[in-house]
Amino acid sequence: MGTFNIVEIVGYTFFFIGSLITLVGVIWLLVLAFRRHILWGLGSFFIPLVIIVFAIKFWATAQVPFVLYIMGSITMILSSVYFFI
């Protein structure tokens, strides 16, 4: 088993932080969707793009969790592209 260098540790750390932020945003959006209507919640849970449609349609209430979702996803993507390639 090899050792990790500092770049890999930073990459894994950013990826983990981005994953947590994304998870918080998605769970928050799912809670809001289920509160709005059971079909919004089920659709957001089982069909991937419905959660984005929900966030845009109900922007006033879904603004903060959607921004968390997007920022966490961007952090994960950038850390995987920059640190792991």
Residue 83 has what pLDDT?
Answer: 74
Rounded Cα distance, 25 and 31, in Å:
10
Residue 21 has what pLDDT?
Answer: 97
Report the predicted TM-score, pTM, of the whole model to 2 decimal places. Answer: 0.87
pLDDT band at 2 (very low <50, low <70, confident <90, very high): low
DSSP string for 66-78: HHHHHHHHHHHHH
Residue 16 has what pLDDT?
Answer: 95
How many residues does this entry show for the chain? 85
Tell me the pLDDT tens digit for each residue of 24-82.
999 999 999 999 999 999 999 999 899 999 999 999 999 999 999 999 999 999 998 87
